[in-house]
Structure 1
Amino acid sequence: MCASYGLDPRFTDAELLAEADEAVLDGLRSWAQQNAGETLRPTGKNLRNVNPLVTAGEGGATLESAWWGYLVDGAPAKFPSINTRSERLQDRPGGLRSRALVPATGWYEMQKPDRVWHEFGLGPGVLFGMAAVTQRGRTPDGEWTTCYSIVMRPSPAHLAGIHDRIPVLIPTAFADDWLTGEPSRELIDAALTAAETLDERVSAAARPDDKGEGMLF
């Protein structure tokens, strides 16, 4: 699963949207600077994180703050919800009714049994989008917000020895399709095919500073 990820404000290569929206990119950079390089982790019972999410607005892509993981009856879901398997969406495409892109410059996974954290990405400073499905949820203080779950797929061969699954990365050319396409088995199949075009660019490096430790789910 995707346990945590990073958003470096120094990103220079924006591979998030086919037609880069400067307002979205400026908003991301400003948010990341305020976040001061902190790792983005799921929101849990004792940890309240709201992170930037790219969604489809009336005038095009828009940026909003969202809760990582689903909320049920005003509390974090008791079932695993920070990630959603692509196979589940293929079997139940109704889960694709609302979608988003999660902007990141890297994500972190632990290699077992060595318990060594690795950072995955498309290269230093490269901004990319991870596929997500969304739904509305009510926070413990009664406010309604967007919640998101990152879509995961089996890892390509060169990464499978580190972790068995990776996020579905959305190339710029497919970003609009992912955000606005009709929810269907065909959409998730096309997203998986598009994601495979980035496989050769994905690399992983060990992180001796243990970026993923201290997470609360």
Structure 2
Amino acid sequence: MCGRFAMNKETDDLILEFIARGGRAEDWRPSYSVAPTDEAPIIRDRVPKDETGQPGETVERELELAAWGLKPAWSKPGGPAPINARLESVATNGMFRGAFASHRCIVPMTGYYEWQQQDDGKQPYFIHSDAEVLAAAGLYSARKVDDAWNVTFTIITREARDASGEVHDRMPVFLQPDLWTQWLDPAKVTAPDALLHLLELSSASVARSITTYPVARTVNNSRTLDAADPALIEPIELAG
């Protein structure tokens, strides 16, 4: 699974990277520790409605803030809000099927954390690549709550094919740039198996560039750490 990640880029950096509008992400502050229920930037393509309430003719790419933990519009208050969706079942699982069909997004991250149990406790590792930003495949939902839109997201994961396999058996599905536009297309998916195949190939390719190293155990407690502290992702030497 992917249960914590770093996204330490500014809003303007992400807009330039993904060629997106500002959306409502102006309040974003870079974070080295994005945890479940936290807000983080996502990129999505939308077809805005015109003055009559009908869908327009153009697709707009937005950078949007969303809470980590998918809450489909049809779900009941207090119900599950999964942070991950398995690639193997994302197109057929009732929780994710609708979002996979037409509400796909990219979750930018600079890397993510996994943990390995040691005799003296859990040791965190930071998993990343040479790329400044990784584009994780995600799904989103937007529901209106008290006249405000509540946007939530989940990250799609797959069997580990990268360095995280040394620490954990799952990893996020990462997208190569040439797949971004097809993945974000708001049109309903008509060939889910073909899209799943592309995700498999793309994520396997990106995985070859990913490495891992141990970081300080300060990362372990998301409630007490300083999410703005770059030391969270600095490598450390483990005692032999």
Q: Which amino acid aligns with 1:52?
A: P
Shift of 1:73: 2.6
Residue 182 to residue 148, structure 1, CA distance change in 2 (3 Å): same
> What amino acid is aligned across from residue 136 of structure 2 in structure 1?
M
Structure 1 residue 112, shift from structure 2 partner: 3.0
CA shift at 1:10, angstroms? 7.0
Cα deviation, residue 39, structure 1: 1.1
1:192 aligned residue = 200
Distance 1:168 1:31, change over 3 A: farther
Tell me if 1:55 matches 2:44. yes
Q: Flag the structure with more relative contact order, 1 or 2, with Cα contacts below 8 A and sequence separation at least 6.
A: 1
1:118 aligns with 2:125: yes
Amino acid at match of 1:179: L
Q: Does residue 170 in structure 1 map to residue 175 in structure 2?
A: yes
Is the CA contact (8 Å cut-off) linking 1:4 and 1:212 kept in structure 2? no
TM-score, length-normalised on structure 1?
A: 0.77
**Can you give the 5+ residue segments of structure 1 that lack an aligned partner in the other structure?**
44-48
The C-alpha deviation readout for 1:109-143, integer Å capped at 9, x for no partner, is 112356211111113x711211011223465x674
Q: 1:89 to 1:209 in 2, by over 3 A?
A: same
> Structure 2 length as normaliser, TM-score?
0.70
Deviation at 1:185, TM superposition (A): 2.0
Q: Determine helix, strand or coil for the equivalent of 1:67.
A: strand
**Code of the aligned partner of 1:108:** Y
* Distance (whole Å) between structure 2 residues aligned to residue 137 and residue 212 of structure 1: 32
Match of 1:128 in 2: 134
Give the greater-gyration-radius structure (CA): 2
2:69 aligned partner: 69
Q: Does 1:103 align with 2:120?
A: no
Match of 1:41 among 2, 20, 35: 35
Change (3 A) 1:214 1:154: same
The aligned amino acid for 2:123 is V
- Correspondence 1:4-43 to 2 at 5 A: 4-9=4-9, 20-21=18-19, 23=21, 34-35=29-30, 37-43=31-37
* 8 Å contact from structure 2 (residues 35, 222) kept in 1: no
Query: Percent sequence identity over matched residues?
Result: 19
Which letter does structure 1 place at the counterpart of 2:69? G
* Structure 1 residue matching 2:88: 3-state secondary structure: helix
Q: Which amino acid aligns with 2:36?
A: P
Distance 2:91 2:10 in 1: 36
2:221 pairs with 1:213: yes
Equivalence for 1:46? none
1:150 alignment partner in structure 2: 155
Amino acid aligned to 2:4: S
Q: In structure 2, do the counterparts of structure 1 residues 170 and 178 end up closer, same or farther at CA, with 3 Å as the change threshold?
A: same
CA contact (8 A) 1:2 1:109 kept: yes
Which moves more between the two structures, 97-106 or 114-123? 114-123
Q: 1:190 corresponds to which letter in structure 2?
A: L
SS at match of 2:89: helix
Q: How much has 1:144 moved relative to structure 2?
A: 3.6
Q: How many pairs are equivalent? A: 199
Do the aligned partners of 1:90 and 1:189 also contact (CA within 8 Å) in 2? Answer: no
Q: Which runs of 5+ in 2 are unaligned?
A: 48-58, 224-240
User: Which secondary structure does the structure 2 equivalent of 1:115 belong to?
Assistant: strand
State the one-letter code of the partner of 1:39.
S
Query: 1:147 deviation in Å?
Result: 1.5
